[in-house]
Structures are given as structure tokens and as C-alpha cells.
Structure 1
Amino acid sequence: MTNSNNSSVDIAGAAIPTGLFIDGTWRPGENDATFDVISPASGAFVASVADASVSDALDALGSADRAQASWGRTSGRERAEILRAAFDLIRQNRDVIAAVTTAEMGRPIEQSLGEVDYGGEFFRWFSEQAAHLSGDFGSSPRGDFDILTTKVPVGPSLLITPWNFPLAMGTRKIGAALAAGCTVVIKPAAQTPLTMALLVRLLAEAGVPAGVVNFVPTSDSAPQSEALMADSRLRKVSFTGSTGVGIRLLQQAAPNVLRSSMELGGNGPFLVFDDANLDAALDGAMLAKFRNGGQSCVAANRFIVQRAVADEFIARLVERTQALAVGDGATPGMDVGPLIDARQLARVQNLVDDAIAQGATVLTGGKSVPGNGHFFEPTVLVDVPPHADIANEEIFGPVAVVSVVDSDDEAIAAANDTPYGLAAFLYSDDVTRAFNATSRIEAGMIGVNRGLVSEVGAPFGGVKASGLGREGGKLGIEEYLETKYIALARLER
């Protein structure tokens, strides 16, 4: 790895690159263009980062394309050892990575440390798979020739990552792609490029060859993505973000028939049946709703509680919500940090105000916190009309919407009354009752008596408007592999 312009910013005593990374070299953007990273907790300047142009992005794709053949032929064992080395470097740099993440998105430092632990595990997981890819062998039904199947890399891949989990959403994609033998172009969210820049630096230190990983942060992602996806050298796109953007990317992927993985929006229901252990349900509710300030695609948006336990559940939820500490995540002991930017803060406020105007009752919270940061009070709403925007859109904020139902059927119908189907949560002490409900809930992931579903060894993804494909687990690497079939004649000697 070389660093042609030595551009970096010091965070937590570490030099974090602020350039583009193309063909193994850190370099400035075209015409030295940059954009600023601003702390959502204080409004303070964090760093100025190279702003990749369309030309820069196409250079990155060219680099990935040139490196593809060599990387694809690299043995699975060698790829595994590089990923394992990267995992070890993440562990060694745990505190620095967490500090960078908190600096650029304001999240409580304890939660950032948790993301480093979780995100690093994807490199270990996929390192364990890289050396064990296999095809199949058998005879044709008539027995006149043999059928061989092998797995080959899809090819250069565009990985577009979001701001809310800037490390883990990257490692989940990069780990699978590199393990499969694919080269990558990474476009991080403009709000949080520094975490990914540090990760790219660590990958180079781990031994990833030049051109295999390319990094092109930009303040204007749409032209960059459009140009890359129109280029026939690109063979795959993997995106995590909103459903609206995902739909546009799928439309752009169609002309070149790009392999596409889309992890899109959610509107997670959290069902509390009348036999639920309320202590456990409340613990799960706080985790599923308020982790990362509610800025998670798998966050619980809609709490659907059966009437027999509703009063107690709501009262205790309000009490625990009021006890949450809100502030800059760099300060130890905070539970909820800021929303990512002023736009998201205004959006959450508008959703709450619209619900109130339509008859919703605020039990706690309900408004933004004055000051320089983008903070919103942890909020509990009841009596929200089913047609209110907040009941139908992904909130991405610390707002819990609670409704009361009378039966399992009513709860499940309410849970499914959404175009989304990413994650759902269900609490019941009756295993059979809970399992029967899971068969009817339309979601790609369901937590039963558990407020967190994300797990390195499990497939992550949704149904309906929540996306295509799966990341993580045994299926994650398959998204970056093609199956090649060989018909082998039996020649007479």
C-alpha cells in the first residue's frame, strides 16, 4: 500500500485516511474535490474527505476489473488467511474504530464497541468459508455423461453501505465478496466515510492485493452509481439503504442483468402476547427500539400488545423510556445519541407532529432537544390512527408507536399490514403458540422472545419491499458466486 498524498485526520491518536483508495494507492479526488464530515452530536467539523467524481469511480472499477482474474484464481486458503488477518487487525484496533464511528455519527461509545465486535466477526466467519467452497458431481439420468458443477466468482462488485452501521454493513459485504474471489468498489455513505476508510486501510495492511478493494466516497452518489452500473465491467451490486433507492438501483441493474442484493427498509412489528414474560418483553423492547437511537433497519417500529397486558406494558415502557440518557455518545453512560443529520431530525419531528394532529397521544417525549446536535427525545405514542404516516413508514428514530389488540389473529394481521417484511419480534411463553405465529408473520427474520436478530452465522434479509437476497450465514457467500455446469462426455477408449 502507498499513500501518495499522505492525507489523514487524527482521531483517538490514529491517522485515519481521508483520500480515495484506488489500485492500492491513497489519492485525492479529481480536481482535489472534498466534502466535510460533521458531527451530528455537536455540529462540529470532523474531517474533510476526498470527493470521488464519476471519473474516479470508473478508475476504481477499472482497477477492480484488472485485479479480478488474479484474485479469482487466488486459493481459498490464501483468501481465508487474509480475511483472518483483517479480523485480527480489527480486534487490535477496536477502541480506535469505535472512536471513529462515534465521532462521525455520535452513537454511544459502548454501542460502537459492540458494532466493532459484531462487524469484525464477519471477516472471521467468511475466512472460515473461503477455503471450503465446493461444487458437485454426478451422472446424467441416462448415465451417458457426467455432470460437474463448480462455483466461480461473480466478478467486480459495487458495495454501497449505509451510515447507521458503517463498519458492520461493510464487513458483511466485503467479507463475503473477498471470500468468494470477487474484487470490490466500495461507496460508503457520505455522513460516515471515515470508519470505512479505516477499514480499507486495515484490509491493505492484512495483505489484500492492490486493486482488489477500492474505496470511492462521494457527496453525490447517484451519478456515480449510475455510471458504474451502466459499465459492463461491473457484474454485481449490493446495496443497503432505503427501498426507494433500492428500486432505482434495480432499474439501473436491469440493462446489464447485474446480480443484485438489496437489504432495504423495514417497519418492524413487535408483538406482545398476553402470556408473555413482561420483564423479558420490556428488555427486548428497549433493545429493539432504542439501540442506535432507533436508526436501524431492523428496529421495532410498531408495538402490538394484547389488551390483557397492555396497561402494564405501556406504563413500564414509558418509565424505562424516560430513564434513557440522551447525549453525545463520546460521553460515557449515554443510551441514545443524535439522529444523523438535520434532515432526519426534521423528518422524525414531522412524523410525530402528523400523528398528534390525527389524534395520537404522547406519553413521553415528542420533540427535538434544543442545542447544536440533532437529538430527539425518546418517545412513546399511543392512539395512533392506522393511516398515520408514522404507522406506515420506517421511523429511523427513538419513537415507539404502541397499539392494543384483542387476539393473536388481530396482532398478526396488524403485523403484516405493511409493504415491508424485514424483521419482526414476538414475545410469548407458549412455544407452540409463538411458533405457529411465526409461520404466519411475513418477515425474513423473526426474533422470538429476543429483541435482537442480527447474527453473523444467520442469513440476514427480508421479503416484500424489504429486499432481495441474504447476507451473512451460509447463504451470504452464495450471493457472490455463480454455478458453472460442465457436461463431461464418457469417451470410449
Structure 2
Amino acid sequence: MTTSTLTTVDPTTLEPIGDYPTHTPAQIDEIVEQAADAAATWRHEPFAARTAVLHRIADLIEERSAELGALITAEMGKPLAEAAAEVAKCAWNCRHVADHGPTALAATPLSGPDDAAVRIEYEPLGVILAIMPWNFPLWQLFRFAAPAIMAGNTVILKHSPNVTGCALAIESLFAEGRGDIRLLSTILVEESVVGAVSDRVIADARVAAVTVTGSTRAGAAVASSAGRALKKSVLELGGSDPFIVLDDADLGTAANHAVRSRFMCAGQTCIAAKRIILAESVIADFTHELVSRVDRITVGDPTDPATDMGPLARPDLVDQIQRQVDTSVAMGATVLAGGYRLDRTGNFYAPTVLADVTPDMPVYNEETFGPVAVLVSVSDDDSAVETANDTEYGLAASVWSRDIDRAVGVGRRIDCGAFYVNSFVASDPRVPFGGVKRSGFGRELGDLGMREFTNARTVWVSGTTA
């Protein structure tokens, strides 16, 4: 593999904004060696030192919030307000992990015989390879990396090529957070060789585990490589999240949250409300509430404060969403809003609402990664649950009802990693995040996320009553 160049492109103007040389195999080997050396040292650092680093990184994030937000917007098209919120969330996560990590990672005493002391100790695994996506270029990395590093691991980051500037900015933050130990290193490789490079790094004896956030296809490939190498893997993959509106829901509130969930980040989120499942009796009223709000979404330059939704991150994503919409409409879906790419420079697509959607349509049975809301009618709660579960994915779900017990009862019957009642789905540093079925396995965030990349080692000491 020879050195080549990664070029990032502004999705708003379609102009190149950065060129970055890729790493050679020898350079990647050196990065792995440095990460392993760092892990051997970092695992012995006390919690106080680890928390200090995370607080320092949080400080740096906050000091550079405007710069980091502008970089996110330039590379993947997120409006500045959304980018600023993402940056702030990364700082919050670092501080939360720093403040709560020592307790979550402390040895857990267990019951044993009277003459033995038994406990579980959470030991770091070592070097973790992180393969990350572009839609939340800082948050996706920090929600994994802060807990992993708090646990005593080090990280090698393989980020999406279109957010290479963000990847290097992240590397710089960690370098300044603790300059004498290389806690996080970035490898830059062409898209065409990502699979081969990932396989080689995962198989390397100096690498202990791998995590990937991305498509189901990418996750399956990484899990296969990890399985061959007998390495732990955590997969946070796609979703087709149901947003269930029962017949007694507050329709205005539900519509507000549906719009925010589905059209934030131009619909390019795994936990968006991708299938809005409606009780028959509220379809007309909810549809009116939803479409009236969608019609007010301002699409435009993401650096303009008046913009609600920016471009999609890449041209191929526009092509993909247009294919899904066109095929579904040809099969009988009704366009209530949008349904077309906007005739302007950039990767812009109109906020779209489709009704009369059936399970055979692409917008129902495929993951839609763009600004398209689909409406599905159901007759009762049982039908809502059946429809919600009618997918290969199982990331998250939300249920809307004035009757909390009823909503919780519906949510408990949905196959997913989390369900939210009267709230749209969002990741939060305080609670675990992850899915089931083809949405992946393992957990990020919360106490479970802090322990995910550790060896839960049993320690049994006989001859003591301590």
C-alpha cells in the first residue's frame, strides 16, 4: 500500500477543504506499537490521574468549541447550532466519566465463605481499535473513548475519511490532555483498503479489542475479523426505530418530538424516528400536526443561524434516499411533503413525509439515512408492537401516551436496547446505549459502558476475614 491523499469536501459547496496523506503499513505498525507502549503505562496510572486528563480534555473542548463546531459543519454539513450541541455533549461526557468512573470501576465485593475475601476487579484490556462514522464525528468517538480511557485502555481511531479534520482534531485534544502518554492515535487510510487494514490491525497481537459504529454490513465484517482473532468486539449499528403514537397521546407534543428526532442531522442518525406508527383514530390529526411542522423547516447553508437543516454529508447518500423514496412511491406510498432533491449546489434533500407505507417498501424495510419520515397505520396496541418488531433492527423505540402504564407495557414488548416513553430517543452519558438483533451488541455509556472494555477478573483470597 502506497501513500495516497484523503480529500475532505464541504457538502454545502462541494468544494475541497482539506488534503491529508494516508499512512503507510510501516507507519500504521509504528502507531500500533506506540499505542501498546502507552497502554502498558496507562493501565497503572491511578484514577486520580485519569480523571485529571479527562477534565483537562473537557476544558480544551470548551475552549475550542467554536472551532470544533465549525469543523463539524464544514466537513459533514450539520447546522452550527447542532454542531455546538455535539461539542458541548462531548465535554459533558468527559466530565461525567471523570466524576463517576472511579466508582463504576472500583472493585466489587462478592459473597464468599467466611474465611475468604472475594471481589471482581475491572482491569483494562489494552489497545482498542475504534472504527467511527461521520454523522456525529466527535460524539461517536468520545462516548466510547472517554470510558475506555478511564478504564485504563488506549485507543487507535480509524475515522470516516470525509471527517478527517475532525479525527486529527480529536487526536490533538488527547495529545494535549496528556502529552507524555499517547492515549489516542489516528490512522488515515483510503476507503478502498479499510477492510484489509482493519483486518490486519484487529489480528495484531498488540490490539485487544475493537468497536465499530456504522452500518450493519461494516459491523458484520468487523465482527467476523474479531471472531477469527478471538478478540472482543462492540457493535453499534443501524436502526429502524419505531415511534409509536397511541390513541390517547398528546399529538402536538408527539409531533414536535417526531420532527426533531427524524430531521435532526438531516435524518442521518441511527436513533431517529424512522417509522412513525400511528393508531388509526389519530392518523388525520397527527399527520396535520406533523406536516405543518415539516413544511416550516428551513433548509440551507448550515453556517446560517436561520437554517434548521443542512445538506446530507455525501452525494451518494442523496442518491440512496431518492432511490428509496422513488421505489416506495411507485409501490403506492403517498408523498405529503418533499420527496425530491433540491435544485441547488450541495447535497440537499427536501424534508419528506410519506404516508400509506407498507412493509414491502424500501422506506419501511431498509434503514433510511436521510430526512424521510414514514407513517404506518395500526389498529391497536398489539398491532403497534407487531409492527415495531417487524424489522431486523433493534436499537431503540419511543412510545407516546397519556397513560404511562399503558405506554410502558407497550414498550416492554418491543425488541430493542432501550425504549423511551413520551420522549424521543437520545444517547446520554448517564445511561447505557446499544441495541439487539442486527443493531449490534455491547454497550456504551453509563456504568456498563465504563466496564465494557475491561476484564472482569474474579479475585479470591482465602485465609482472611477481611
Partner of 1:384: 357
Query: RMSD across aligned C-alpha pairs, in angstroms?
Result: 1.6
- Within a 5 Å distance, the mapping from 1:129-148 to structure 2 comes to 129-132=100-103, 133-137=105-109, 140-141=112-113, 143=114, 145-148=116-119
1:57 aligns with 2:28: yes
Partner of 1:200: 171
C-alpha distance 148-314 of structure 1, shift in aligned 2 (>3 A): closer
2:442 corresponds, among 469, 477, 484, to 469
- Within a 5 Å distance, the mapping from 1:75-94 to structure 2 comes to 75-94=46-65
1:128 aligns with 2:96: no
Task: Tell which deviates more after alignment, 200-209 or 363-372.
Answer: 200-209
Amino acid at match of 2:389: N
Give 3-state SS (helix, strand or coil) of 2:336's partner: strand
Q: CA deviation at 1:356?
A: 0.9
Mapped to 1, the partners of 2:425 and 2:306 lie a distance apart of 21
1:292 aligns with 2:259: no
Amino acid at match of 1:192: V
Contact persistence 2:397–2:411 (CA under 8 A): no
1:36 aligns with 2:10: no
Mapped to 1, the partners of 2:260 and 2:26 lie a distance apart of 43
TM-score (norm 1): 0.90
Amino acid at match of 2:20: V
Extract unaligned runs of 5+ from structure 1. Answer: 1-29
Contact persistence 1:82–1:208 (CA under 8 A): no
1:351 corresponds, among 321, 324, 331, to 324
Amino acid at match of 2:106: S
Give 3-state SS (helix, strand or coil) of 2:397's partner: strand
2:409 corresponds, among 422, 428, 436, to 436
Q: Deviations 1:294-335 (Å, cap 9, x if unpaired)?
A: 100001111111111110111221121111111121122111
Amino acid at match of 1:465: R
1:426 corresponds, among 381, 392, 399, to 399
Give 3-state SS (helix, strand or coil) of 2:433's partner: coil
Mapped to 1, the partners of 2:140 and 2:412 lie a distance apart of 28
Q: CA deviation at 1:409?
A: 0.8
Q: CA deviation at 1:69?
A: 1.3
Mapped to 1, the partners of 2:112 and 2:288 lie a distance apart of 65
Partner of 2:137: 166
Q: Deviations 1:421-444 (Å, cap 9, x if unpaired)?
A: 101111100011111111111111
Partner of 1:3: none
Contact persistence 2:148–2:453 (CA under 8 A): yes
- Within a 5 Å distance, the mapping from 1:53-452 to structure 2 comes to 53-132=24-103, 133-137=105-109, 140-141=112-113, 143=114, 145-220=116-191, 221-452=194-425
Contact persistence 1:63–1:212 (CA under 8 A): no
Mapped to 1, the partners of 2:148 and 2:386 lie a distance apart of 38
Give 3-state SS (helix, strand or coil) of 1:217's partner: coil
Partner of 1:459: 432
Q: CA deviation at 1:490?
A: 2.1
TM-score (norm 2): 0.96
Contact persistence 1:40–1:105 (CA under 8 A): yes
Q: CA deviation at 1:211?
A: 2.7
Mapped to 2, the partners of 1:411 and 1:149 lie a distance apart of 42
Amino acid at match of 2:447: K
Q: Deviations 1:37-60 (Å, cap 9, x if unpaired)?
A: 001111011111222234332221
Give 3-state SS (helix, strand or coil) of 2:228's partner: coil
Task: Tell which deviates more after alignment, 198-207 or 421-430.
Answer: 198-207
Mapped to 1, the partners of 2:293 and 2:64 lie a distance apart of 34
Q: Deviations 1:212-239 (Å, cap 9, x if unpaired)?
A: 2111132222121111011111111011
Mapped to 2, the partners of 1:259 and 1:292 lie a distance apart of 31
Contact persistence 1:120–1:168 (CA under 8 A): no
Contact persistence 1:54–1:227 (CA under 8 A): no
Partner of 1:484: 457
Mapped to 1, the partners of 2:280 and 2:374 lie a distance apart of 15
Give 3-state SS (helix, strand or coil) of 2:274's partner: strand
Identity %: 34
Give 3-state SS (helix, strand or coil) of 2:28's partner: helix
Contact persistence 1:295–1:339 (CA under 8 A): yes
Extract unaligned runs of 5+ from structure 2. Answer: none
Mapped to 1, the partners of 2:436 and 2:202 lie a distance apart of 24
Give 3-state SS (helix, strand or coil) of 1:191's partner: helix
C-alpha distance 370-238 of structure 1, shift in aligned 2 (>3 A): same
* Paired residues, number: 461
Give 3-state SS (helix, strand or coil) of 2:73's partner: helix
Q: CA deviation at 1:466?
A: 0.7
Mapped to 1, the partners of 2:276 and 2:332 lie a distance apart of 18
Q: After the TM superposition, which parts of structure 1 deviate over 4 Å for at least 4 consecutive aligned residues?
A: none
Mapped to 2, the partners of 1:32 and 1:253 lie a distance apart of 26
Contact persistence 2:47–2:150 (CA under 8 A): yes
Amino acid at match of 1:474: D
Contact persistence 2:322–2:339 (CA under 8 A): yes
Contact persistence 1:446–1:453 (CA under 8 A): no
Q: CA deviation at 1:144?
A: 5.4
Q: CA deviation at 1:89?
A: 1.0
Mapped to 1, the partners of 2:241 and 2:119 lie a distance apart of 43
Give 3-state SS (helix, strand or coil) of 1:418's partner: coil
